[in-house]
Structure formats: C-alpha cells, structure tokens
Amino acid sequence: MKRTALFLAGILAISSLSGCGAKNSASDSSEPFEGKYVVTADYVKENLDDIIIVDARGEDEAKKGTVKGAVATTWQYLATCEDGEAGDANWGCILDTKRLSERLGELGLAKDKEIVLFSNAEKGWGEDGRIAWELIAAGYEDVKIVDGGIKALKAAGVETVKGAAEPKPVSVEIDSIDETHVINTDELKEIYDDCKIVDTRTDKEYNGKTMYGEANGGHLPGAIQIRYTDLFNSDSTLKSNEDLTKMVNMIESQFNNGDYTAMDLVRFYRNFYPQFRTRLFHELMEQFHLEENRRIATFSKGMKKQVLVIIGVCAATKYLFCDETFDGLDPVMRQAVKSLFAAEIMNREFTPVIASHNLRELEDICDHVGLLHKGGILLSKDLEDMKFHIHKIQCVLSGRQQEKELEKELQVLKVQHQGSLLMITARGTRSEIMEKIQAKNPLFMEVLPLTLEEIFISETEVAGYEIKNLF
C-alpha cells in the first residue's frame, strides 16, 4: 500500500529535505570540551576561594538564586546602552576607557585575578560570552566561562544563595580597548566579498520574524547560519572538541564558494544519521549518472534535486519531508524519483511527505492529501476516500424545475451551465448521485473523471478559499 502524503501549499515553509526520527546529532559528546576560556563546574567548586565569580544574568536573576559569593552584572552595564536606544549606530558598543575603568572597579573585577562568568547556558552564552569579550578587549588576561552555566554549578553541588554578593571595589585602569576582534560596518563593507559571515542567532531572528532593535529584520546576504544551540549537548554543555571540529570543518567545506561535493554532504549527514546507507548512496548516484566528487555548484537545478533526494532516502529516516521535489526534473527523472520512493515504501517503513503545487504530477503516488493555507491545514483526507465521495456529472434535464430539485436533494459543491448542458459536482457515492439524477429522467447523463486538482478546488471553494475571495 502506498504511504505517501501530499500537501499543496498556499503559504508553505518546509525544508527541502529533512528526515524525522533522527537525533539532532550522532550522540551527546562523550568527552568534555576543553578550551582556553572554558572551565567546568567542578573546577569552580574547587577554586572558589581563588577566583572572582560573576553572575552574568544580572541582579534580578541573582535574587532568585545564584552562587554564593558571586557578584552580578550584565554586559549592558559595560556598554553604551544608556547612551541611546537599540538600533542607534553606537548603541551597545563597549564603553570608553574612563567609564569602563570606573565600572569594572565598582564591580571589584581586579585585572590580576581570574574572572569566571556564568549564566543560563541553555539560553546560549550571549550574556557571559559578551562580558568575557568586553573584559578581554579591556586587557584582562584570565577570563573563563562555566561550561553548562548555573545549571551545571548546581548539579556539581556549588553552594547557592538568593541575592548577589556586595562587590568589593578595586582600582582598575584601562589604557585602551583591543579591537582585534571587532569590525565596524564600514570596514565590513570594504572586505565583504572576501569574508564569511556567520549568523549564530535563532531561526526566527535569521529569517527576520523576530527583531531586537535592528532597522531591518533578517540576515546579511550570504550569511551562514550556525545556530548557537547546535554547539551544545542536551545538558547545555559544549560538545566535545572532536564534534565541534567536525561541524566547523563540514560547514567550511559546504560553504567555501560551493566547493563541496556530494560525498562531502554524505560525510556531513553521517554525523547526524548513524544509519546512513553509504553503499546505497553509491549505487543510486551511479544509477542516476551523477558524479560523487563533482562540485555541486556545477550541477544543474535538476541534478541538485536528484542529489538531495538520494541523500534524503539514504539517511534511512521513517519520514522524509520534501518541498517541490519534482521541480526542475525532466519527465524521465520525475519517474525515476517516483520509482525510488515506491521501492523504499515497499522495502521498509517509509513515508515521504511531499509539498507541491503540482497536483497532477503527484496524483498517482499519493494516498493522503492535504491543503495548507495560512499556517493551518484546510483539508486533510485519504485520496481514495475523497474520490469515492465526490463526483462530477454532466447531464441535460428537461426543465429548470428538475435542476432546482436536484440542488436540494444532492450535496452540491458546484454547478456550471454550458447551454443546455448542466455540470454538477456533488458529494456522495456514485450510485447515490446517479440514482437521484436518473429519477429526473435526464435526456443525457455522463459521469466525468475528476482530477485531484478539481477535487481540491471544489472542496476549498466550500471552505471559502477561492479566487474571488483572494483579491
């Protein structure tokens, strides 16, 4: 039995090919991350007397619970956030040396001490990471961030209290701000074509659905998205050095001017789908006459579609979401892809979910159909059931009175006239509809085959989704 779902999209947002049922990564890192600026919660517990620990969440959060002895602040306190509003050209920049010196001194952050910062790691390292950068830019040489944040500290048994400690002011003198790791807008414009822009924000921020003061939503042209959440294990600690290296190397390969090949993609996806069928990949690439080590940037649109379909199938997921899978494929390749889907359905538990605007193309391989409209499902039915319960009949009746009676007796979806010829689209079984029409002694009657597209139009018009209501 076919187990393929088709969704016609009015407004659609489905990834080109993404498998369900796979882990976000191959596994949580077995080895802890090791790095110059990161320490474990156990390290903090063992060295509390020798470090200055800072709650980067701020005083309000510290009141709910923080590490005993921790001072609290926010990155905004060390930046120009008081000098204007979010979106202003110089808003959020690090303070000048004079004001920065004063505030760091007020917080008791002596330059000769080890500073350890923590926040809610599960929400990202935006708070503690930003303060760490501000301190390093100010010339601090021993700055660390707690891997796993406050959650890890509590799990390690570090004593907590409600409310931050009172800072012990010290003398701090910042001579200059190290701008090695800073670039302004004008500088970026000059070297833009030679840079790789990495956007670490969430999908909503990257796509412009959520804004935080910027004048325009969305992302910079050509920016690579690496979600900060992709760097973490399930317990909000950083993935191992090995896992992070694999990720960065793959991203480097993938986005280096299109230099990545189909095999590069396979190496990448094998990190996320442990059951990836590499042998099948090789076989299918040969059957589709595609070169594994050829740069994908040199492939045609149709060839790229074929590669993605092959990789999606080889990932061995239970479900495969496909967006306009057949777009760009010639008739031979369209049939080849359909045959590939059919073979997978027959051989294992597999359901492709295909989003498409071309209903005629997919009618022969789908057994369940639905219509997406404005973020919701307008219609969802088994195809055979839909075809069984809706029919189109053309007939010629002897008078207008019979037509009026039929419209009352049948569940009419649509009525059309072509001279004396009457075409009725009605819901119900074929025998029920024909019996009622025959009772009117028609001069002529014929059942017409309905396409999936016609069924959709008829059903959605009833729901108020029709052309006259769109404009």
Q: Which helix (H) or strand (E) holds 46?
A: helix 41-46
210 or 56, greater pLDDT = 56
Q: Which amino acid is at 114?
A: E
- Most confident region among 100-109, 227-236, 249-258, 369-378 by mean pLDDT: 100-109
**Amino acid identity, position 16:** S
Q: Is the pLDDT of residue 17 over 70?
A: no
Residue 131 confidence (pLDDT): 95
Higher pLDDT, 304 or 84: 304
Hey, where are the domains in the chain?
Answer: 38-161, 389-469
Q: With CA atoms as reference, report the closest residue to 55 among 117, 113, 129.
A: 117
Residue 18 predicted with pLDDT over 70: no
| 35, amino acid identity | G
The least confident of 82-96, 190-204, 245-259, 457-471 is: 457-471
Q: Which fold has domain 389-469?
A: Alpha-Beta Plaits (3.30.70)
Which range (63-67, 125-129, 213-217, 394-398) has the least confidence? 213-217
What per-residue confidence (pLDDT) applies to 38?
A: 93
pLDDT score of 7: 43
Total Cβ atoms within 10 A of residue 347:
8
Q: What is the pLDDT of residue 2?
A: 39
> Is pLDDT larger for residue 173 or for residue 200?
173
Residue 75, SS3? helix
Distance between CA atoms of residues 410 and 258, nearest Å? 59
Residue 266: is it exposed, middle or buried by C-beta count within 10 angstroms (0-12/13-18/19+)? buried
- Report which of 98, 80, 97 is spatially closest to residue 89, judged by C-alpha positions: 80
Residues 115-163 have pLDDT tens digits of 999 999 888 778 899 999 999 999 999 999 999 999 999 999 999 999 9
Query: Given pLDDT bands bounded at 50, 70 and 90, which one contains residue 267?
Result: confident
DSSP 223: P
Q: Which pLDDT tens digit goes with each residue over 353-373?
A: 888 777 666 766 778 877 776
Question: In this structure, are residues 442 and 403 in contact, taking their beta carbons and an 8 Å threshold?
Answer: no
Q: Which two tokens stand for residue 415?
A: 């009525």
Q: Residue type at 393?
A: I
Q: What confidence tier does 282 reach under pLDDT thresholds 50, 70, 90?
A: very high
Q: How far apart are CA 448 and CA 212, in angstroms?
A: 56
Work out the pLDDT band at 166, boundaries 50, 70, 90.
very high
Mean pLDDT, the chain, as a whole number? Answer: 82
CB contact at 8 A, 97 and 177: yes
- Across 244-258, 364-378, 430-444, least confident range: 244-258
Whether the predicted pLDDT of 463 surpasses 60: no
Q: Where does residue 253 rank: exposed (0-12), middle (13-18), buried (19+ CB within 10 A)?
A: middle
List C-alpha distances in Å: 43 to 37, 132, 234. 13, 18, 21
Residue 378, classified by CB atoms within 10 Å of its CB into exposed (0-12), middle (13-18) or buried (19+), is: middle
Confidence of residue 462 (pLDDT cuts 50, 70, 90): low
Kindly indicate whether the domain formed by 38-161 is annotated with CATH number 3.30.70.1140: no
* Nearest-angstrom CA–CA distance, 310 and 320: 11
pTM, to two decimals: 0.51
- What was the pLDDT predicted at 22? 41
Helix (H) or strand (E) holding 285: helix 278-287
Q: How confident is the model at residue 96 (pLDDT cuts 50, 70, 90)?
A: very high
Q: How far apart are CA 294 and CA 303, in angstroms?
A: 11
**Tell me, what's the pLDDT at 258?**
54
Q: How confident is the model at residue 19 (pLDDT cuts 50, 70, 90)?
A: very low
Does residue 1 register a pLDDT over 60? no
